[in-house]
Amino acid sequence: MKIGVLGSGIMGNGIAQVSATYGNEVVLVDLTEEALTKAREAMVKSLEKLSKKDNTVQMSEIINRVSFTTDKQQLKNADIVIEAIIENIEAKREVFKELDSLCEEHTILASNTSSLTISDMVAVTNRSDRVCGLHFFNPVPLMNLVEITCTENTSSETLQTVEKFVAELQKESILVRDTPLFVVNRLLVPMICEAISLVDEGTASVADIDKGMKLGANHPIGPLWLADMIGLDTLLNIQEALYIKTNDSKYRVPELLRTMVAAGELGRKSGKGFYNYS
């Protein structure tokens, strides 16, 4: 198939890489050439790492299947276009409105949102039967799950197409009703925020909280280490979205999380979060 990916950040880049790895023609679109250059460099680095572990990874063939472009017109005849931009509903609605006008009638529009409802994006399109959520997990080349989110208007044909697409990427899928945060983040993000509250209250150290969950709950990594991997700004956006949508106090945002994000301590990507990476 021809797969379009809008947004060349960590998630969009990973989705493009995996789609190309399994033989699809991929168009990766972003606003600037600078962003696309960084995306290509990141993809090459990722594939180099994978090829050292698996000599069947054909890096040059995979890269050659990806067109890096600022021209959204190249998405016009894609079979599926996956939006992977900033986690902001107004920005996503604007993108879906534009894609709906640009893309051919058969094109399925999907969002990689991790927290927002698909129905809020469907509302600005004229193809409600061909809109869904495809939530990949970071890092996309290594994580095996995709949450498929359908609205009440998503057609069975659309669902069959995206399920087949995900399966061909050698990933497993779960079908989720269109609710805030879906399944994984609905469980995961509040747990991480509770761990942040424990730090803020002085209940235990960062290292001991992570050690407790690794040894006491058999988690592969602790919640605060995971928070740094995800990005504290991303966590803040997700938890705020859930709290606003539900108005449930159990989804409150820890003040320490707000303070750290305001200070630019975003985790691995900024060099400092709950741990130092310099």
Q: What is the average per-residue pLDDT within 104-117?
A: 94
Residue 220's CATH number? 1.10.1040.10
- Predicted TM-score (pTM) of this structure: 0.89
Determine, yes or no, domain membership for 9: yes
Do 13 and 140 fall into the same domain? yes
Marked catalytic residue, from 13, 24, 87, 135:
135
CA neighbor of 85 nearest in space, from 11, 33, 20, 34: 11
φ/ψ region of 258 (left if φ > 0, alpha if ψ in -120 to 50, else beta) reads: alpha
Marked catalytic residue, from 8, 13, 114, 173:
114
Residue ending a domain, choose from 157, 177, 197: 177
Do 10 and 82 fall into the same domain? yes
What Å distances lie between residue 20 and 7, 161, 191, 201, CA to CA? 16, 17, 34, 46
pLDDT tens-digit map of 63-92? 999 999 999 999 999 999 999 999 889 999
Active site residue 24: no
Do 161 and 81 fall into the same domain? yes
Other Cβ atoms closer than 10 A to 256: 17
Marked catalytic residue, from 185, 237, 265, 270:
185
pLDDT tens-digit map of 156-177? 999 999 999 999 999 999 999 9
Residue 31: domain span: 2-177
pLDDT tens-digit map of 202-238? 999 999 999 999 999 999 999 999 999 989 998 998 8
Q: For the chain, what is the domain count? A: 2
Active site residue 147: yes
Active site residue 126: no
d(CA 116, CA 129): 18
pLDDT tens-digit map of 15-57? 999 999 999 999 999 999 999 999 999 999 999 999 988 888 8
Marked catalytic residue, from 147, 173, 237, 270:
147
Do 129 and 24 fall into the same domain? yes
Do 162 and 207 fall into the same domain? no
Residue ending a domain, choose from 122, 144, 177: 177
Active site residue 114: yes
Q: Which residue has the tokens 């107004």?
A: 90
